């Protein structure tokens, strides 16, 4: 049975943040990402995203995902997710918000836009 868009995207987030399964972390062909904060946004490509994501994950422990919203309509999936964790060195809490919009086709994530706000107030 083919996974729904919701199931596929939840699994992708789990792999990307909690499991670290590098084979599944590959971004979709048509992906766009942006680093945001303080009202501005800087677009980055998928290689820059993967490099930043890897660096960020290597510095954190106890990573948890919380969804403020999640909507699926046909092949479109949108959500707002908050990632919380602890800094590996200091133990200080870390939190940031990600706004995600994606499209699923034939059980695969085929496009994604991910806007990450690293300046989430605690």
Q: How confident is the model over 26-69, as pLDDT tens digits?
A: 566 566 666 666 667 777 777 777 787 788 888 999 999 899 99
Q: How many domains does the chain fold into?
A: 1
**Any domain includes 19:** yes
**Any domain includes 98:** yes
**Any domain includes 122:** no
**Any domain includes 41:** yes
* Boundaries of domain holding 69: 5-117
Q: What is the DSSP string of 1-38?
A: -PPPHHHHHHHHHIIIIII--HHHHPPPTEEEEEEEET
CATH code, domain with 103:
3.10.450.50
**Any domain includes 84:** yes
pLDDT tens digits along 88-117 = 999 999 898 888 888 887 777 777 777 777
**Any domain includes 94:** yes
**Any domain includes 79:** yes
Q: What is the pTM of this model?
A: 0.72
**H or E stretch including 113?**
strand 108-117
């Amino acid at each position: 049975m083919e996974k729904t868009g919701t199931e596929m995207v939840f699994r992708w987030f789990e792999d990307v943040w909690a499991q670290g399964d590098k084979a599944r972390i590959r971004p979709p062909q048509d992906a766009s990402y942006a680093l945001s904060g303080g009202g501005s946004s800087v677009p980055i490509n998928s290689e820059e995203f993967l490099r930043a994501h890897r660096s960020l994950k290597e510095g954190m422990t106890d990573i948890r995902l919380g969804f403020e919203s999640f909507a699926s309509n046909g092949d479109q999936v949108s959500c707002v997710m908050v990632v919380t964790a602890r800094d590996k060195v200091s133990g200080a809490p870390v939190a940031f918000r990600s706004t995600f919009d994606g499209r699923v086709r034939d059980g695969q994530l085929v496009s994604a836009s991910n806007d990450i706000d690293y300046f989430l107030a605690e």
